[in-house]
């Protein structure tokens, strides 16, 4: 065959990535389970570059030059397994299968092992950027052996977004690391979106800013330290007028947030790793609450208790909200990077966190100017224990903390739920606190289960004989 790369799975993401490869001068073999999508792609965009239409997996395999490189862009889970197995049957030793879907990283580990046994190289690659990113340049997070990256890396880098000339694609590490970091990317995405949602809710509920004018507030925020894709599109969504009602579109969208799983996976993994990703967890649960229809119906009559809102919330309040948003966002990233650190240690992936921040600066959904600061923080101190300890972020938080407290207090007073802002502030205060009540929890554990405790003033484990004479013994 002559094709440089093949793409199978031609829904929006797959089609756009195939076009992206073709526009960069690669010959692209395209395949889809049903021919309709292949026809649609080639009818509409076949002139953009060199495509080879294939109808079966065998034709697809035959169209590819050796070693074959095929990108799988199908739904995560069973459909991905089915396509990978079919490809493996048609492929030869040394050929490479790249899974560009949102696979669960443990599936990727399993698939890579199974493929390795058949001599097929497997690359689990996280790809972010939505439809537009797929076409114009996504952020790509490929895992798997470095030797596979040597073969496919240059092509992936060439279709990725570029920031200051640097591709938003780099080898992440062995086996499931690429899909793991993409999963955490999505967890951070959930958190960012929830925080923006809370900012919107507060600006509207406390300061009475309507969606149209609020779009301007977000546009303004997008020129400063919050400069990011999600802030930019928030302004677009808020400014959108509904044709049917003539009012803001946001007011006719049902307020139940969907989720396909990556946020939930992030939190599950964080629980297993013992990493507190409270900002991400609150974001996942807030989506779940929004979709808890019977509970929300039952909750409509619950009393609010007496509420208070500031008498003249104006520009100062909006600035407070901006700072609370920025501070909470820093927390979400700090927590997400902690989770990546923990997983990297557990699996021996050796993920370079600065490189990750570098490839998230462009192409992906969480792209933001702020990621440059994270990149710099890890460049300065590669073994940073938390992002909050980096001078830039410590200073940023110091500049936000008064506003942050006012916003959380105001939200509580006004009866507006702000789980993202308040969980982030509680995390910050938790890390700051010199003596935590965990000492009491240790005492309780020792009381009911003789679980023992450490002492502040000497080595070793201790137990108080709670049901006896309450003297202390060394455990």
Tell me phi and psi for residue 171, to 5 degrees.
-70, 125
Q: Report in angstroms how near the CB of residue 393 gets to ligand 6PG at its nearest.
A: 24
- Is there binding between residue 259 and ligand 6PG (CB under 6 A)? yes
Find the residue with minimal CB distance to ligand 6PG: 128
Q: How many other C-beta atoms are found inside a 10 Å radius of the C-beta of residue 253? A: 11
Binding window for ligand 6PG (CB under 6 A); candidates: 15-23, 254-262, 340-348, 426-434: 254-262
Single out the residue of 16, 38, 128, 410 in contact with ligand 6PG (rule: CB under 6 A). Answer: 128
The size of the interface with ligand 6PG (CB under 6 A), counted in residues, is 13
Q: Report in angstroms how near the CB of residue 303 gets to ligand 6PG at its nearest.
A: 33
- Is there binding between residue 260 and ligand 6PG (CB under 6 A)? yes
Single out the residue of 196, 321, 364, 371 in contact with ligand 6PG (rule: CB under 6 A). Answer: 364
Tell me phi and psi for residue 154, to 5 degrees.
-60, -40
Q: How many other C-beta atoms are found inside a 10 Å radius of the C-beta of residue 461? A: 13
Collapse the DSSP code of 254 into the 3-class scheme (helix H, G, I; strand E, B; otherwise coil) and give the result.
Answer: coil
Q: How many other C-beta atoms are found inside a 10 Å radius of the C-beta of residue 289? A: 16
Contacts (CB under 6 A) with ligand 6PG, residues 87-126: 102
The pattern of x and - marking residues 262 through 291 that bind ligand 6PG according to CB under 6 A reads: xx----------------------------
Q: How many other C-beta atoms are found inside a 10 Å radius of the C-beta of residue 245? A: 10
| Of residues 91 and 190, the one with the C-beta less far from ligand 6PG | 190
| Distance (Å, whole) CA 452 – CA 420 | 34
Single out the residue of 129, 143, 144, 362 in contact with ligand 6PG (rule: CB under 6 A). Answer: 129
Q: Hey, what are 263's tokens?
A: 């946020």
| Of residues 197 and 313, the one with the C-beta less far from ligand 6PG | 197
| Distance (Å, whole) CA 312 – CA 321 | 15
Q: Report in angstroms how near the CB of residue 129 gets to ligand 6PG at its nearest.
A: 5
Q: Report in angstroms how near the CB of residue 412 gets to ligand 6PG at its nearest.
A: 28
- Residues 250, 254, 256, 258, CA torsion sign: negative
| Distance (Å, whole) CA 401 – CA 428 | 9
- Residues 182, 183, 188, 191, CA torsion sign: positive
| Distance (Å, whole) CA 169 – CA 157 | 5
Contact between 404 and 421 (Cβ < 8 Å): yes
> Which residues are designated catalytic?
182, 189
| Of residues 129 and 211, the one with the C-beta less far from ligand 6PG | 129
- Is there binding between residue 188 and ligand 6PG (CB under 6 A)? no
Q: Hey, what are 90's tokens?
A: 């048609």
Binding window for ligand 6PG (CB under 6 A); candidates: 115-123, 164-172, 256-264, 439-447: 256-264
Which residues of the chain form contacts with ligand 6PG (CB under 6 A)? 102, 128-130, 186, 189, 258-260, 262-263, 364-365
């Amino acid at each position: 065959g002559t094709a440089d790369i093949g793409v199978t799975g031609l829904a929006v993401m797959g089609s756009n990535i195939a076009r992206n490869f073709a526009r960069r001068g690669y010959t692209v073999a395209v395949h889809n389970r049903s021919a309709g999508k292949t026809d649609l792609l080639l009818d509409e965009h076949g002139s953009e570059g060199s495509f080879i239409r294939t109808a079966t997996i065998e034709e697809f395999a035959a169209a590819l030059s050796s070693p074959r490189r095929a990108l799988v862009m199908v739904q995560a889970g069973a459909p991905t397994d089915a396509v990978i197995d079919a490809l493996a049957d048609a492929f030869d030793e040394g050929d490479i299968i790249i899974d560009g879907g949102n696979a669960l990283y443990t599936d990727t580990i399993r698939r890579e092992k199974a493929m390795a046994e058949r001599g097929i190289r497997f690359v689990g690659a996280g790809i972010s950027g939505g439809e537009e990113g797929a076409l114009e340049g996504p952020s790509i997070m490929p895992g798997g052996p470095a030797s596979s990256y040597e073969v496919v890396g240059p092509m992936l880098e060439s279709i990725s977004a570029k920031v200051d000339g640097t591709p938003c694609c780099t080898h992440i590490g062995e086996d499931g690391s690429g899909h793991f970091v993409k999963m955490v990317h999505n967890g951070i995405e959930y958190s960012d979106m929830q925080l923006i949602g809370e900012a919107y809710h507060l600006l509207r509920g406390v300061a009475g800013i309507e969606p149209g004018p609020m779009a301007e507030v977000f546009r303004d925020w997008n020129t400063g330290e919050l400069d990011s894709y999600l802030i930019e599109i928030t302004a677009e969504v808020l400014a959108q007028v509904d044709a049917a009602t003539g009012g803001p579109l946001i007011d006719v969208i049902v307020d139940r947030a969907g989720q396909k799983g990556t946020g939930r996976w992030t939190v599950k993994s964080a629980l297993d790793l013992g990493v507190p990703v409270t900002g991400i967890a609150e974001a996942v649960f807030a989506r779940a609450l929004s979709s808890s229809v019977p509970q929300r119906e039952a909750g409509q009559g619950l009393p609010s208790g007496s509420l208070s809102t500031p008498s003249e919330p104006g520009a100062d309040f909006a600035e407070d909200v901006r700072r609370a948003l920025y501070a909470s966002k820093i927390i979400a990233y700090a927590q997400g990077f902690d989770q990546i650190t923990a997983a990297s240690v557990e699996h021996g992936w050796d993920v370079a966190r600065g490189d990750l921040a570098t490839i998230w600066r462009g192409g992906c959904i969480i792209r933001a100017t702020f990621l440059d600061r994270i990149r710099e923080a890890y460049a300065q101190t590669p073994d940073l224990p938390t992002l909050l300890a980096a001078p830039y972020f410590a200073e940023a938080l110091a500049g936000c903390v008064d506003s942050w407290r006012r916003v959380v207090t105001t939200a509580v007073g006004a009866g507006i739920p702000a789980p993202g802002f308040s969980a982030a502030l509680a995390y910050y205060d938790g890390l700051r606190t010199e003596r935590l009540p965990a000492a009491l929890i240790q005492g309780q554990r020792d009381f009911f289960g003789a679980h023992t405790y450490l002492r502040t003033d000497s080595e070793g484990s201790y137990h108080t004989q709670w049901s006896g004479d309450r003297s202390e013994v060394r455990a």
